A and B are shown apart, each in its own frame.
Chain A
Amino acid sequence: MSETTLETAPNRSRWVNLIQNPVMIKELRSRMRGNRAFLVLSAYIALLSVGIGMIFLVIAASNNSVGTDPEIYQIFGKAIFGAVVGMELITISFIAPALTAGAIASERERQTYDLLRTTLLSARSLVFGKLFSALSYILLLLFAAFPLQSLAFLFGGVAIEEMIIASVLLVISAIAFCSFGLFFSSLTKRTLVSTVLAYAFAILLIFGLPLFILTAVGMFNSFFFGFNTGPSAMMEVILIFGGWILVSINPIATAVVSEVLLIQEQAVFYTSLPLPSGSTFPIISPWISFTIFYLLLSILLIWFSIRRVRRVEK
């Protein structure tokens, strides 16, 4: 069957379509109804506050110069900022796939999928509506944590570049994890199955793939160059490059390495890696490669999801 006939009315701008997306409005309305959203938000903020409080107490207890040494406040600032960003990343990793894993599958379970498919709602509007409603909720969590994060600025020690990079990493992580859930939701008929697949995919990609590549490279090196000799110069370049890519796949590794580069080399966009020959070569900062990799992957998964929703049953 023809697919071109399924798209939305061309006379409305994309922006209006996005703001008035009925699926997004419905999802947000349902999600914010009752006290569940309020309780989740409160628990999340309480957890962050407890974490920050503990960090503050630990640093204060292990340092006698509180009140006299101004550098100690910068350590406080950095620690609070790092802790909040780290906890936000973990929260996003856990919540985002769950928010979208039921997006399409639950419509099938509720038997509302066919109803939606016979309306004038396009497959693209359905998928983007689900995606943006999930992202809106995650953004709400991130914004709610802003006052806690801004404590870091009271103490100092956090540069605006760090703030921007952290925000980019958080938003890209949210988009990526949501698109994982959405993709598997469009593939399966059961929410439970899509949830399990989305988490498995995320874990495999973030932890499994680097582990597999590292093991494979190690075995490759041992096989070709022996156990007692070190890697060749060429192999070292491959290992450095490979390591860089692996760092760029894991959001926490990306955040840590980008922060280290920023502190030690003031390198925001790129840095130079030393080669065994003594020369160096420039390479982009991991947060940029992370952004490119996950944006491309997200676009691909969303595109597949739209195709899957658009498909007419045969």
Chain B
Amino acid sequence: MNPIIEIKDLNKNFGVRPAVEYLTLTVMEGDIFGFVGPNGAGKTSTIRMMATLLQPTSGDITIAGHSILTSQRQVRAAIGYMPDFFGVYNDMKVWEYLDFFGACYQIPPDERLQLIDDLLALVDLTHRREDMTDDLSRGMKQRLSLARTLIHDPQVLILDEPASGLDPRARVEIRQLMVELARLGKTIFFSTHILTDVAEISTRVGIIEAGKLVAQGTPEELQQILMPHRLIHITVLERAEEIAEHLRRMENITQIRYLQPKNNGNRSLLEIEFNGDDLMLSAILSGLIEAGFPVIHFSEDSRDLEEVFMRATKGVVT
């Protein structure tokens, strides 16, 4: 895969206050890149610079090989931008809205009608084609906005908080759409502070805080870097002390804790911190079974991105 977005030493100051500081990151073609950070971290400033709406103080961004400093028109042709607000004309019909933006991207009129029908089908708004945009629900407006970003078939979608303010169903629909678009070959760069969105669909993640990129990589890489220990939960029937002793003798287990089981009394729940690979983990389970311990549950606790985020950030806001 080739790099499609390259941000190099990007700085943005508003007066004396730095909004983005020496931001450098690369997004590869086909990635769903989740750009995570608390409010005021510099996400929207970065995205506005990517969308050619804001001039960087220094540094550069290259999208599909074009610099935002020297080739704005080419960058605009390569991106589909969705801001964190709807930006819908209320006095237009749904199809007119898409038709207008199609014309703004210089798509010939005879091609636009079929294109509009295809896009409405993609975002599941065909049945609202003739309705006024003002009559759409919030989720529908967001889906219409997403259809707008696709009207000129851009290589890269830049979405600022695409799921913010939506109800759970609409959020899931938007997430599904983003995955579908990535499957169709689009590179998606989206900002959010909803970590479940990032965990579920991102192939790569960048965490920004106080204008600085504090971590980047795949969700798994971030977990390994920021939280090297794996957490294993073992539920056993009786002999908990014996089992703990057995585990202590094994390599790669750094800590053992007793946790209370959720249900009845003869069960014990052990939590172990482990820093080995899957083969070693399998060996631990086999060892417990061979030794005849009454193990009824053995699972790895998949630590969510929230913990990774908390470890990566310090709660600093510029």
Chain A positions within 8 Å of B, measured between CB atoms, are 1-2, 5-9, 20, 22-23, 25-26, 29-30, 33, 110-112, 114-121, 312-314
Contacts and interface: CB of A to CB of B under 8 A. Distances in A.
Interface of B: 48, 51-55, 68-74, 76-77, 79, 81, 83, 85-92, 96, 100-101, 103-106, 109, 148, 152
Contacts of A313: 48, 53-55
Contacts of B89: 26, 30, 110, 112
A314 B55 contact: yes
Is chain B's binding surface mostly helix, strand, loop or mixed? Answer: loop
Contacts of A112: 87-89
A312 B103 contact: no
Contact of A111 (B55, B71, B86): B86
B138 to A, nearest CB: 14
Given A1-B69, A5-B70, A111-B83, A33 B91 contact: yes
Contact of B104 (A110, A120, A312): A120
A118 B53 contact: yes
A5 B53 contact: no
Given A25-B103, A26-B92, A312-B54, A2 B76 contact: no
Contacts of A7: 73
A313 B148 CA distance: 23
Is chain A's binding surface mostly helix, strand, loop or mixed? Answer: loop
Contact of A312 (B53, B70, B96): B53
Contacts of B70: 1-2, 5
A6 B103 contact: no
B240 to A, nearest CB: 60
B259 to A, nearest CB: 50
Nearest to B83: A114
Nearest to A17: B106
A29 B95 CA distance: 13
A259 B68 CA distance: 57
8 A-B pairs with least C-beta separation: A22-B103, A119-B104, A5-B73, A121-B104, A118-B81, A111-B85, A30-B91, A115-B87
A117 B53 contact: yes
Contacts of A116: 104
Interface core residue of A2, A26, A30, A110 (most chain B CB under 10 Å): A26
B104 A5 contact: no
A120 B55 contact: no
A21 to B, nearest CB: 8
Contacts of B81: 114-115, 118
A2 B86 contact: no
Nearest to A311: B55
A137 to B, nearest CB: 15
Nearest to A3: B72
B88 to A, nearest CB: 8
Nearest to A116: B104
Contacts of B77: 120
Contact of A22 (B52, B53, B104): B104
Contact of B55 (A1, A110, A115, A117): A1
A29 B53 CA distance: 28
Nearest to A34: B91
Contact of B76 (A23, A25, A26, A120): A120
Contacts of B72: 1-2, 5-6, 312
Contacts of A33: 91
Contacts of A117: 52-53
Contacts of A312: 52-55, 72
B76 A119 contact: yes
Given A1-B69, A110-B87, A118 B103 contact: no
A1 B104 contact: no
Contact of A115 (B54, B73, B92, B101): B101
Given A33-B91, A115-B83, A118-B79, A5 B103 contact: no
Nearest to A121: B104
Nearest to B69: A1
Contacts of B68: 1
